[in-house]
């Protein structure tokens, strides 16, 4: 009986996987016809095929399978984003990235938290917990958008880098506030700064070490003994970078992002692959990232809890509107304004104000808070779902339009 049950479970998972791929391809075709980023269409299709409507796709948010898909999918998409960045561009804007990924998270969390305090009539500590969980942007959403919409390099790479670096800060702030809310700790600026530096630096070291080793094995002029297996190397190294960084208490997402930067900038470290091998690797990365994107956003849409959202819909929508239209612009202008070297134009800053989609990372934090029975966890999960829907369905489809109006689109 146990064997039969296991086989039936396996068959069910295979059917769901086939359905996700089929609906994912349909979503990609629709997005191409509409000339918009596919993440918004994938999310809508996920809602339509999820248990709340058609019921074709039903994978529980707290299941091990769902967590594997979210973790690996986010990691590979983030690796893909890192591989598309260029060190020459990052050198111009690193101050903005550093400030907006740290101070910017605090500013966003504070403004959003204060808004929630007034609009949702919450205790201040619970309101700040909501603000902290929504403060980070989402690389799994932003990287695909900038892969599909050709934006001016330094703007796109700044926003993608911010989304990679601020997940660590967002998690630190969230769990620091949670400790205070649950009466198990007190806020310590010194400890929080130390924790951030530890997570970031160890993540960079792990990602850098594995990235260099991988680049050596697939791009060294004499010792590229794994060049034929370069696609497999990326799979192994992405998993290894995340797990190794996580085991050291560092940011796994930081590690895979840095790993991607090194693989994408092999020439800067004295390595170079042949044209055929490079093309094969790039095709594999693009295809794998597309599949992961399909799974993540269709599952995210399928798991939207409309009954939970309904309880806080009006107040939650007001909080998210302030997050999008007030907190984000203040964060961008304050944090990018201190970077005199970058010489940001007003048009570039306005565009960055509009690109702060909420997706997998805040949703994962909300899920953790639910599992830990944190104060206000149901409300936080509800508002997080509202933020995911509002930002992805409103901001993602209008990215190309706004970039065009601001003169930031480039030809590829």
Q: pLDDT digit string (tens) for 74-103?
A: 888 888 888 887 888 788 888 998 899 889
Angle at 74 between CA 70 and CA 80, to 5 degrees: 150
Token digits of residue 393: 């369905």
Structure tokens at 64: 């091990």
**Per mean pLDDT, which range of 9-13, 111-115, 197-201, 317-321 is the poorest?**
197-201
Query: So what's the pLDDT on residue 1?
Result: 47
pLDDT at 331 over 80: yes
183 backbone dihedrals φ, ψ, rounded to 5°: 70, 20
Task: Please report, rounded to a whole number, the percentage of residues in the chain having pLDDT higher than 70.
Answer: 97
Q: Which residues pair with 151 in a beta bridge?
A: 409
Looking at per-residue pLDDT, the higher value among 48 and 307 belongs to: 48
Measure CA 364 to chain center. 10
* pLDDT (0 to 100) of residue 186: 58
DSSP assignment string, 287-350: HHHHHHHHHHHHHHHHT--HHHHHHTHHHHHHHHHHIIIIIHHHHHHHHHHT-TTT---HHHHH
Q: What is the pTM of this model?
A: 0.80
**pLDDT at site 406:** 92
Task: Please determine, for residue 407, whether its predicted confidence score (pLDDT) is greater than 70.
Answer: yes
For residue 358, give the nearest of 78, 160, 141, 109 by alpha carbon.
141
Whether 247 shows a pLDDT value over 50: the answer reads: yes
Beta-carbon contacts of 272 under 8 Å, excluding residues fewer than 6 positions away, are 219, 221, 266
**Is-contact 165 200, C-beta < 8 A?**
yes
Res. 37 pLDDT band, cuts 50 70 90: confident
Mean pLDDT for the stretch of residues 351-376 = 80
The confidence band for 187, taking pLDDT boundaries of 50, 70 and 90, is low
Q: Which residues contact 115 (CB under 8 A, 6 or more apart)?
A: 131, 318, 319, 322, 323, 326, 327
Whether residue 368 is predicted with pLDDT greater than 80 in this model: the reply is no
What CATH number is given for 74-405 in this structure? 1.20.1530.20
pLDDT the model gives residue 25: 92
**H or E segment to which residue 270 belongs:** none
> What is the Cα–Cα distance from 220 to 234, expressed in whole angstroms?
16
Lowest mean pLDDT among 169-173, 238-242, 294-298, 401-405: 169-173
pLDDT digits (tens, 9 = 90+) for 141-181: 787 888 788 888 889 889 888 887 787 778 778 877 887 88
Q: Name residue 16's beta-bridge partners.
A: none
């Amino acid at each position: 009986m146990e064997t039969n049950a296991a086989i039936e479970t396996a068959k069910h998972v295979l059917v769901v996987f086939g359905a996700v791929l089929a609906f994912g391809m349909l979503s990609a075709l629709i997005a191409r016809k509409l000339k918009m980023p596919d993440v918004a269409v994938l999310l809508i299709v996920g809602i339509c095929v999820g248990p709340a409507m058609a019921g074709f796709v039903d994978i529980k948010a707290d299941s091990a399978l769902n967590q594997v898909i979210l973790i690996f999918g986010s990691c590979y998409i983030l690796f893909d984003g890192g591989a598309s960045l260029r060190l020459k561009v990052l050198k111009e804007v690193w101050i903005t990235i550093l400030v907006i990924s740290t101070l910017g998270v605090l500013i966003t969390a504070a403004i959003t938290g204060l808004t929630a305090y007034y609009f949702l009539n919450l205790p201040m500590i619970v309101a700040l917990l909501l603000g902290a969980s929504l403060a980070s942007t989402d690389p799994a959403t932003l990287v695909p958008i900038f892969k599909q919409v050709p934006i001016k390099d330094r703007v796109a790479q700044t926003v993608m880098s911010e989304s990679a670096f601020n997940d660590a800060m967002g998690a630190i702030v969230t769990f620091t506030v949670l400790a205070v809310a649950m009466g198990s700790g007190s806020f310590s600026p010194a400890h929080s700064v130390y924790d951030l530096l530890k997570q970031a630096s160890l993540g960079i070291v792990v990602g850098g070490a594995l990235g260099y080793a991988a680049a050596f094995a697939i791009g060294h002029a004499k010792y590229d003994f794994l060049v034929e297996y370069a696609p497999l190397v990326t799979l192994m190294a992405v998993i290894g970078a995340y797990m190794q960084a996580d085991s050291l208490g560092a940011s796994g997402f930081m590690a895979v992002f840095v790993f991607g930067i090194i693989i994408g900038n092999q020439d800067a470290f004295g390595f170079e692959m042949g044209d055929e091998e490079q093309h094969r690797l790039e095709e594999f990365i693009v295809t794998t990232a597309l599949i992961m994107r399909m799974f993540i956003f269709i599952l995210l849409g399928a798991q939207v809890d409309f009954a939970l959202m309904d309880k806080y819909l009006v107040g939650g929508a007001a909080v998210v509107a302030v997050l999008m239209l007030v907190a984000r612009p203040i964060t961008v202008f304050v944090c990018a304004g201190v970077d005199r070297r970058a010489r940001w134009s007003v048009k570039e800053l306005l565009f960055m104000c509009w690109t702060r989609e909420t997706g997998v990372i805040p949703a994962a934090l909300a899920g953790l808070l639910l599992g830990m029975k944190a104060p206000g966890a149901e409300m936080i999960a509800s508002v997080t779902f509202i933020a995911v829907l509002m930002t992805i369905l409103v901001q993602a489809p209008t990215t190309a339009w706004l970039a065009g109006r601001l003169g930031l689109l480039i030809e590829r």
